[in-house]
Amino acid sequence: MTSRLKEKTFKKYKTLDQRYETIGRIGEGAYGIVRVARELSSSHRVAVKSFKLKLTRESEGIPFSICREINLLKELDHQNILKVKDIVLDKSDGSFYMVTPYCKLDLEKMLNYHKKQIPLDANQTRRLPPKLDRNVIKSMLYQMLCGLNYLHRAWVIHRDLKPANILIHDEGTERGVIKVADFGLARIFKDPLRKLSDDGPVVTIWYRAPELLLGAKHYTPAVDIWSLGCIFNELVTTKPIFEGRESKEAFQRDQLETIFKILGTPSEEDWPEMKDLEFYKLMTHIPHYPPNLEQHTELPSDSLELDLLKRMLCYDPTKRITAAEALKHPLFDQKPVAYMYCFGSDKRLSYNYPDQPIYSENVAQRPPNAVQQPLPQSNVQSVAQQLATTHQKPHHHHHHHQAPSQQQTQQQPATEQTVSSSSNLPQTKQSSSSNGVESKQQQQQTDKKRKKSTKETNSKKKKM
């Protein structure tokens, strides 16, 4: 390993508390704790994600999925992609810290707010909050497509798009800006060293494309577009559109049948390559269903929004609309236009989303402010080599667009010229109910299923 590589990977051994003031804990993931802190130089809040490493002679140090996420986030630079601000290793307790901008809101939290009854007046009358304004959803979708277009042009597939992985800035100059996050399952798909299917199941099951469910060995960025189509409809209805049950078997019959009941059973005319997929013969045992999408969305049958949704949820991945094509869809030429800050200046589009709980930490617990020291030479080499070789560097020579200034994006609607540098908030859950009213029992069941799906996805990441 060259000294230049060492310097690039381990250039910061200062204490985190020289730059950040810890505020408290906000969550815990598969590998460690997430805290919120304040950057001393700017007073901006940041998220500090800590990972516990097993720095032993037998251990390779950083888990593979974390290396993948770090490599991608260090190279990607786009307004709608979460950016890594700092990376620090701490020898004293085997911790590794990744610092990113803090977003207190994600689409899952936003959707939960819009589907749960809360007191809305002085008499404490409980009722559902208003649904998201249709133009807010349009602006969110546009931003998400901008982020995906950037990723796909950089030869990156996200492979785990879901509401919880779409963050929203809810304060400061970037209020209303979407950030695509969690790149633990992301892969570069240009000339991969091994088949993408070798990674095992990807994408949380409710957002998993049919080609993945049928066992495709090779797949494309079209899997991300399918996931985004699911999120789009969920923003409209506040309920997941394809809410199937995940099986322990490789063939996910219930999830496929859930999709068929809504979109209709695909024919070989619709999708010629379908017959070549691993689980095609098993699929033929599922009953035939007619298309029924209009009953599971609240979009008008003759609307441009429904037309775009159908193109995003096309069975054949070769015919599914791409992010670049979707950004040119007539929907985004229709007034009111999509804005790069989805909440805009209209106070009617602002919602009183609850603050994310921040928990104070036990003084006896070690906060993320330990003195950072170089790892033992053997482990430094092991970790640095992981960071350097996990991925090829994404290609950026094909990115033609420059990110607009904050002032420009606040004052101007989204245009085709800003496609690869800005985009709007994506989010909310979909519900087949036309009035948006959901019983408490249904909400609890949905939340329980979502937690189970998330837990299983995190378990798969950990094994990778």
Catalytic machinery residues: 160
Residue 39 burial (CB < 10 Å; 0-12/13-18/19+)?
middle
Enter the tokens of residue 364: 């006896």
CB 150 within 8 A of CB 80: yes
DSSP codes, 159-207: ----GGGEEE--SGGGTTBEEE---TT-EE-SS-SS-GGGG---S-GGG
Q: What distance in Å separates the CA atoms of residue 39 and residue 45, rounded to the nearest whole number?
A: 6
Q: How far is CA 171 from CA 65, 103, 104, 163, 175, in A?
A: 30, 9, 9, 19, 5
User: Amino acid identity, residue 253?
Assistant: R
CB 63 within 8 A of CB 49: no
Closest to 313 (Cα-Cα) out of 291, 330, 286, 284: 291
Angle at 133 between CA 127 and CA 138, to 5 degrees: 145
How many CB atoms neighbour CB 218 within 10 A? Answer: 10
Closest to 13 (Cα-Cα) out of 380, 337, 400: 380
User: Which of helix, strand or coil describes residue 430?
Assistant: coil
Phi then psi for residue 100, to 5 deg, are -135, 165
Q: What torsion do the CA atoms of 226, 227, 230, 232 make, to the nearest 10 degrees? A: -100
419-442: burial string, b at 16+ Cβ within 10 Å, e else: bbbbbbbbbbbbbeeeebebeeee
HSE value, Cβ hemisphere, 13 Å, CA-based, for 296: 22
CB 99 within 8 A of CB 48: yes
3-state percent helix, strand, coil for the chain, nearest multiple of 5: 40, 15, 50
The verdict on whether residue 85 carries a ligand-binding annotation is no
Residue stretches of the annotated binding site: 49
Residue stretches of the annotated binding site for ATP: 49
